Every structure is written in C-alpha cells, then in structure tokens.
Chain A
Amino acid sequence: MTKRLWLSLAVVGAIIVLGWVFLRIGANWPAGTLIGSQELVRLITPKGEVEVVAKIDTGSAYSSIDESLARSVGLQPDAKKVTIITGEGRQERFTTKLTFMLDSRRINAEATLADRSNLSTPMLIGRDDLGGFLVDPEREFITEPKRDSGLFNLFFPGDGMFSGDQGVGKLMIIIPIMGSVIVLVRLLAGIRTYGIFAPVVIALSLLDLNIGQGLLIYGLLIVVGMAVKLFVLKRLELPNIAELSLIMFVLVLLLLGISLLPIGFSFSFADVFFRLVITSFIIEQASRTAEEYEVAQVIPLLVATFGVAVLLAFYGVFLSQQSFMVLWAVFAASVLATVLAGNYLGLRLNELIRFKFLRRTHVHK
C-alpha cells in the first residue's frame, strides 16, 4: 500500500515537474516572440510571396497596406468598409484579406487599404494581429519571416487560437488536460463515451470552428452514416471491415455535398481529416452497439460523447486564454486528479441511480 502510494506520488511529481521544465524551454513561454518597431514580413498573395517592410504599430487596431502594392500582388478589396479614427478625423476605408508571415507565425489579417506612398513603410501591422508578440521599440528587424510549414499548420490553418509556436505549446498542454476530464467523468460520474478520447478529438475540431455549426455537421454525418450502414450496407452482407471502408466513401461524398450547399460551408484540410476519422470511428462503435443491443441504446452514448465534447470545447476555449502559470497549475491538478480518481473505489454517480434497491424501504430478506 505505502509502496504504491510513494510510486504514485513519484509519477505525479515527475510529470508535473517535467511538464514545467519542457514547457519553459520548449514553448518559450510566457515571453512571447520579441519583435522591433519595423520588421520584414512575407506576404502570401495570389501572385506569389513578396517580402515587404512593415511598421509595428500597437497604437492602431487594424493592419494597413498600401493600395497600389495590394493591387499589384492581386489582393482584392472586400465590400466591407471600416471606419478609422486618425489624426485628421474619421475615415472610411476598404479592407482586404491579407495573409503574411511574421517570424514563424502565419497571420491572417483583415487589413485596411490606404495610400501609403508618402509613408516610410508600405505596410503597418496593428495590435489586432500582434497577439503573442512583444515589441521592443528601440530595435528593428530582429526577426525574419520563416517558411510556413509544419504539420500543425496543416491541421490548424490560419489564425485559430492555436497557431504559432505558443499555440502549439498551449495545445500540447490542453490535450492531456482534456483527456483527464474524460477519466474523471467516467470514474466518478459513470458517464460512458464512445472511445475514451474521441470526445477530446471532437472538441479540438469543434474549437477550430463555430461550435454550433460543427455539431450540426457531425450530427448529419453520423445520422446519415449510421442509416446507410444499418439499412443499406448491412444488406450487402460484407465483412464488417469492408462495410466501414464503404462508410468512409459515403462520408466523403456527404462532406462534398455539404460543401456544395449554398450556405457557405467551406472545408479546410483539418475539417475533412478530423471529421472523417472521428465519424468513421464513432459509426463503427455505434453500429456495433446497435447490432448487439438496440438502436435506442446508441442514442444516450452518442449524446454523452458529444455532450462531453462540447463541454471540453468550452473548457479548451477557457484554457487557451489562460496564462502559462494558470495552465501549468491546471495541468498539475489534472495529473493529480486522474491518479486520485483512479483510486476512488466508491460508487459512481450513475450507480446511485442504478442500484435503486438502496432507496427501498421494505425489509430485505
């Protein structure tokens, strides 16, 4: 007993301490990336990539780009106009979608179009696009734009809350924290989900999008996928593994169909990848339950899986806004809670309902 206790403490301690060390070194947190008052950035435009000098201006909310430069690289102005308050009063300006690399971060900005021909730099980066950077106004050209590559940008393209080095560091901490929530929910409340960590992956993909829209698409994919499997593919009498493969074909067609609808859903690689993997996995699990028991028993499990996923998505949003210290504290608490929950031998919350004879008043035989 005591041997196990010491071992548990050692494991928990080691994870917490190593977590601190690696995050301090690896994610270079909480310092942020240092940049000067002017930096070289690389614009990623329809006509290729161009390097330009940009002024870093935390006094301005929007980024801004010279109109003629924007036109020469093929950037189209949006219909939307924004009102800018400058030294000379209010101005209405057109905006454009602008993607550029500043140091190792890929930034998707909504930049205003302005005539900057008599200004020192053709571009200005405002504070809305400077999250995660620290500005040293006495220095210039500290960084240079890196190549936009890496697996992570493939999964989380654009300016999601997890882009850039810091984002990766945060995400790396958040994934196991979310995983521990599943353990707590299972061991303490007795809530079962499809796949132990499937809700984590669903939550991550919901984070990248609007949660409501994400759920809608998942719901549609799973309902149609299950229906096709149970009512059409089953009749083909194929081995289960072949059925699952066919399900993936059906899901891809469904996703393509949805993207053609005039509601403006467009899918990034991340969406397609996550959705396909998760929905095929869940359909596999759910159809097994449906075959073994009844379709009605699939529903509570599906609801639990997505309910927990939505909960985790909100938790993830909350966590992503926290400072390094807070996140690390939650990380440590989660490790501890997981080990403690694993040692909890009392009834799970659902078992208070399940063992209903506890509440009966008559005398037991």
Chain B
Amino acid sequence: MFISRLFAASPLGMNARNCLIRRLNSPAALRLAKDKVSFKEVLQKNGIATPQSYHVIHDYTDMRLIGMFPDEFVVKPARGYGGNGIILLHKANGGYVNPSGDRYTTIDVKWHIRKILDGEFSGYIERDQAIIEERIYPSAKLQFKDAIGLLDIRVFCYRFQPIMGMLRYPTLASKGRANLSRGALGIGLDLATGTITYIHSKKYHKEYSPEEFGIPSTFVMPLWDEMKQLAIRCAELADLLLCGVDIVLSDKDIPMVLEVNGRPGLEIQNINESSLIARFKTQAYKPRLAAVG
C-alpha cells in the first residue's frame, strides 16, 4: 500500500489508522464487536473462554433481577468504551462494597444500572444494556508490586495475525483501570517470545525497568502462544482485519477474552517502541502448525 511505502520507518498515525479501519473493518463487524452481549454469545458458541454473564439488564423492568445477583459480580455497560461505567461489587452486610471499600446500597446499584441503560457510558447514541458478569481474579503468575485490579493483555492483530502485544498494568495512579490513557503502565511484550521489551507510562512519559515492579528479568508471558492463537480465533470470529484483542489470565490460569476492539489505540507503539507499519509488512508471527491442530 502507498502509505506503508512512504512512511515505512514511521509509526502508524491516526489518519492512516482511520483509513485502514474504513477499508478493512466492515461496519457490521464493528457493530458486533462493540456490542458485548452479542459478541459474548458468539465467543461462547465457539467455545472461547470469557467471563460468564449472570444477567443482562435490558430495561427498567429488569431491575427486579437485582435480588438474584450473586454475592460477587461486575456491572458493565454493553457498549461502553475506555472502561467507563464498570464497577466491581460484592455483597456485605445488606449492601455492596467495591474493591476500594466504597459502600453501595441497592438504590446506588440501581442508580448506576439506570445510568448505563440511559447510555451515559456509551455516548448517549442509543439505549444501552447492563451486563452483570462474573468477577475475574488475576492469576498468581501475574501478581506484581503496585498492581491493583486485573492486568490485561492486548494483542494487536492485522489480517488475522498478531503483530504486537502488550500487558496493561493497572496501578493506583490509574485507579485500578487497565487503560493507558488513565495512567496504567504498559509493558511491551516481544511478539515471538513473550519477554518484556519496554515499560512505559503515558501519564509520566517515563521508561521503567522491570525490577522497579518486582518483575524478574527472566519474565516470560505465561501461555503466550495460546493467547496469540486465541487472538487469531477472536479476530476471525469478529471478522475484523485490524483489531486489538483484550485477554485476561484468570486465577485458574485460563486465558479469557474480554473484548475485541475494532478501533484499537496506537499507544501500543510507544509501549513497544516500534512501528505498527513495519509489522504490517513482515507479519513476524506465524502460528505453529502443531498449535493450530
């Protein structure tokens, strides 16, 4: 393609990314991936592990389901973006408590669900649905210093091939969110081996060494090959030729797919200190035949 020839050494910019999305990702596929309720069904039908959803709340009348919620759950907008509107709760003396210890009454929870339904976290474009799903605890293999909340792995795929990966590391500064724009740390992962390339934080524009977080220098992403295979499967199911697949490693060391993002961010280039454009051409990673079988 014209642009990749002209800017071979340069990073992928927003203009070029938007152009690629227009050309590669069909609107129908983007719509499906954005709707977490429908896409979760697709994933489950294909035997891909994803957090189990207990209830989907479509309208105010479904609020009565609130009595049937399990002891511990996550409330999530079906079409939210950037991690907005997600709360983690567990039951405690008649009410609910989130991981930071803030108390929620039943009315507070209803209030939050109502905001989700009104589209407050999905841009008010349309009415949204609230998903009540299983809370995933992080694997013991991914418990590092200062990490709070769930670390997630982003695999950037181009034409159904993983071309870049990173581990997003929620901290106090990011208020437990794994979003780089909120100040979460990004740990670049070497595509072939799963070792650490660079560690960056968008908020402080600073490079860290793994030792600062108690990560051994010999760290290799557990189940990295499986995760790359999972990313390929999800990109194919979503029919998105350019996408970012978000994977978490549960406490039972099972990789679970959180979502597939059809408009993936470009910050992954800063985290890995390399250009996506260069990877488009090489497609460095090829799945091993044995793993496909």
Using a CB-CB cutoff of 8 Å, which residues 1-58 of chain B contact chain A? 2-3, 6-7, 10-11, 13-16, 19
In the assembled complex, how far is the CB of residue A321 from the closest CB belonging to chain B, in whole angstroms? 34
- In the complex, what distance in Å separates the CA atom of A253 from the CA atom of B269? 49
Known A-B contacts A292-B84, A346-B3, A346-B7; A187 and B120 likewise in contact (beta carbons under 8 Å): no
The answer to whether A187 and B15 have CB atoms under 8 Å apart is yes
The answer to whether A357 and B3 have CB atoms under 8 Å apart is no
The answer to whether B118 and A348 have CB atoms under 8 Å apart is no
The answer to whether A346 and B197 have CB atoms under 8 Å apart is no
Chain B, residues 114-130, CB within 8 Å of chain A (1/0): the string is 11001010001000000
Most B-side CB within 10 Å, residue of A190, A237, A292: A292
The answer to whether B120 and A240 have CB atoms under 8 Å apart is yes
Chain A, residues 345-363, CB within 8 Å of chain B (1/0): the string is 1111001001111101000
The answer to whether B197 and A365 have CB atoms under 8 Å apart is yes
The answer to whether B10 and A345 have CB atoms under 8 Å apart is no
Task: State whether the Cβ of A264 lies closer than 8 Å to any Cβ in chain B.
Answer: no
In the assembled complex, how far is the CB of residue A95 from the closest CB belonging to chain B, in whole angstroms? 54
Known A-B contacts A240-B118, A357-B269, A357-B274; A293 and B13 likewise in contact (beta carbons under 8 Å): no
Chain A residues with CB under 8 A of B3: 345-346
Question: Which of chain B's residues has its CB closest to A187's CB?
Answer: B15
Task: State whether the Cβ of B82 lies closer than 8 Å to any Cβ in chain A.
Answer: yes
Question: Which of chain B's residues has its CB closest to A357's CB?
Answer: B273
Chain B residues with CB under 8 A of A351: 11, 13-14
In the assembled complex, how far is the CB of residue B121 from the closest CB belonging to chain A, in whole angstroms? 9
- In the complex, what distance in Å separates the CA atom of A239 from the CA atom of B118? 8
Task: State whether the Cβ of B288 lies closer than 8 Å to any Cβ in chain A.
Answer: no
Chain A residues with CB under 8 A of B7: 345-347
Question: Which of chain A's residues has its CB closest to B17's CB?
Answer: A345
- In the complex, what distance in Å separates the CA atom of A293 from the CA atom of B3? 33
In the assembled complex, how far is the CB of residue A354 from the closest CB belonging to chain B, in whole angstroms? 7
- In the complex, what distance in Å separates the CA atom of A43 from the CA atom of B8? 70
**Other-chain contact of A364, B124, B181, B274 (Cβ < 8 Å):** B274
Chain A, residues 231-244, CB within 8 Å of chain B (1/0): the string is 00000010110000
Task: State whether the Cβ of B111 lies closer than 8 Å to any Cβ in chain A.
Answer: yes
Using a CB-CB cutoff of 8 Å, which residues 190-219 of chain A contact chain B? 190
Question: Which of chain A's residues has its CB closest to B271's CB?
Answer: A357
The answer to whether A355 and B15 have CB atoms under 8 Å apart is no
Chain B residues with CB under 8 A of A354: 270
In the assembled complex, how far is the CB of residue B150 from the closest CB belonging to chain A, in whole angstroms? 20
**Other-chain contact of A293, B114, B115, B182 (Cβ < 8 Å):** B182
The answer to whether A365 and B190 have CB atoms under 8 Å apart is yes
The answer to whether B11 and A345 have CB atoms under 8 Å apart is no
In the assembled complex, how far is the CB of residue B185 from the closest CB belonging to chain A, in whole angstroms? 16
- In the complex, what distance in Å separates the CA atom of A218 from the CA atom of B290? 65
Chain B residues with CB under 8 A of A364: 273-274
**Other-chain contact of B13, A240, A292, A348, A356 (Cβ < 8 Å):** A348
Chain A, residues 298-333, CB within 8 Å of chain B (1/0): the string is 000000000000000000000000000000000000
Chain A residues with CB under 8 A of B181: 293
Known A-B contacts A346-B3, A346-B10; A355 and B16 likewise in contact (beta carbons under 8 Å): no
- In the complex, what distance in Å separates the CA atom of A67 from the CA atom of B115? 67
In the assembled complex, how far is the CB of residue A298 from the closest CB belonging to chain B, in whole angstroms? 14
Interface size class of B (residues with CB under 8 A): 20 to 34
- In the complex, what distance in Å separates the CA atom of A120 from the CA atom of B2? 76
Chain A residues with CB under 8 A of B111: 237
Chain A residues with CB under 8 A of B270: 354-357
Task: State whether the Cβ of B205 lies closer than 8 Å to any Cβ in chain A.
Answer: yes
**Other-chain contact of B115, A239, A344, A347 (Cβ < 8 Å):** A239
Chain A residues with CB under 8 A of B6: 346
Question: Which of chain B's residues has its CB closest to A294's CB?
Answer: B182
The answer to whether B205 and A356 have CB atoms under 8 Å apart is yes
Known A-B contacts A237-B111, A239-B118, A240-B118; A346 and B14 likewise in contact (beta carbons under 8 Å): no
The answer to whether B14 and A190 have CB atoms under 8 Å apart is yes
Using a CB-CB cutoff of 8 Å, which residues 282-297 of chain A contact chain B? 292-293
In the assembled complex, how far is the CB of residue B238 from the closest CB belonging to chain A, in whole angstroms? 24
**Other-chain contact of B16, A293, A346, A358, A360 (Cβ < 8 Å):** A346
- In the complex, what distance in Å separates the CA atom of A357 from the CA atom of B271? 9
The answer to whether B15 and A344 have CB atoms under 8 Å apart is yes
- In the complex, what distance in Å separates the CA atom of A344 from the CA atom of B118? 37
The answer to whether B10 and A358 have CB atoms under 8 Å apart is yes
Chain A residues with CB under 8 A of B124: 240
Chain A residues with CB under 8 A of B274: 357, 364
Question: Which of chain A's residues has its CB closest to B121's CB?
Answer: A292
- In the complex, what distance in Å separates the CA atom of A83 from the CA atom of B250? 88
Most A-side CB within 10 Å, residue of B3, B15, B181: B15
Chain A residues with CB under 8 A of B190: 365
Chain B residues with CB under 8 A of A344: 15
In the assembled complex, how far is the CB of residue B60 from the closest CB belonging to chain A, in whole angstroms? 12
In the assembled complex, how far is the CB of residue B20 from the closest CB belonging to chain A, in whole angstroms? 9
Chain A residues with CB under 8 A of B120: 239-240
The answer to whether B118 and A347 have CB atoms under 8 Å apart is no
In the assembled complex, how far is the CB of residue B127 from the closest CB belonging to chain A, in whole angstroms? 13
In the assembled complex, how far is the CB of residue A338 from the closest CB belonging to chain B, in whole angstroms? 14
**Other-chain contact of A347, B13, B114, B198, B205 (Cβ < 8 Å):** B13
Contacts A347-B13, A357-B269, A365-B190 supplied; 13 other A-B pairs, CB < 8 Å: A187-B15, A239-B120, A292-B84, A293-B182, A345-B19, A346-B13, A347-B11, A348-B14, A348-B15, A354-B270, A355-B11, A356-B270, A365-B197
7 residue pairs, one from A and one from B, having the closest CB atoms: A357-B273, A347-B13, A355-B11, A345-B16, A345-B3, A351-B13, A365-B197
Q: Which A residues fall within an 8 A CB radius of B?
A: 187, 190, 237, 239-240, 292-293, 344-348, 351, 354-358, 360, 364-365
A sample of 18 inter-chain contacts (CB < 8 A) reads A187-B15, A240-B124, A293-B181, A345-B19, A346-B6, A346-B13, A346-B15, A346-B16, A347-B7, A348-B13, A348-B15, A355-B10, A355-B11, A355-B266, A357-B11, A357-B269, A357-B273, A365-B197
